[in-house]
Structure 1
């Protein structure tokens, strides 16, 4: 029985084990990379990408450790406040949402939505 098998990546004829699917590690890696690129992206990848975007934006606007920025400016940069890693509630009851070490609190001042940006501090360790 002549069972011809071909590499799933480059279509080269395979020799060796019957369950072999790729001719070499490069083809295996290339096949899985191309497959991932064609897919719509996993939920995890989309969430991770947005968290990284949010962190980058918060970091760029919060150089001194605390800042106030209009919400529209952050949103124009691609910031999405529904993606955060954890939260911290202060003694006043305000809930700061954090993207890793950078946090934000939504406030309305003079009829405009703003975010107060902070950086994680050691006294916040006992967050709830």
Structure 2
């Protein structure tokens, strides 16, 4: 006695095992993708996606190891400074927020908000 008569994704008639749900791996994958798309995004996924986006943006703009860039430029691309993985405080008391190996420090110069972008250095571990 067959449990499922048709593929749950494409509707083709199933042959083979009696407990088979899908006609091939592509239909199984497509079904799971559709099912997951209907679920609201979980908090973990939102955080993970934002961290990945922040890292990608910081990496793109920090090619030289230390760069200054206007805040609006990063925020227009979806950068959110509230999502970071750790921080480092230098001897002057400035707190750099890091997204994995890429860090940023918010500064205001001449009334303009800017970020100083840096990359993680070995000496930062000792502080």
1:92 partner SS: coil
- When normalised by structure 2's length, the TM-score is 0.82
Paired residues for 1:1-128 under 5 Å: 5-15=5-15, 16-18=17-19, 20-126=20-126
Gaps in structure 2 of 5+ consecutive residues: none
- Deviations, residues 62-89 of structure 1 (Å, cap 9, x unaligned): 2211111121221122211111122112
Higher mean displacement: 73-82 or 2-11: 2-11
- C-alpha change, 1:56 and 1:125, in structure 2 (3 Å) is same
Shift of 1:98: 0.8
- When normalised by structure 1's length, the TM-score is 0.81
CA RMSD of aligned residues (A): 2.2
Higher mean displacement: 35-44 or 68-77: 35-44
Q: What is the aligned residue count? A: 126
Runs of 4+ off more than 4 Å: 1-4
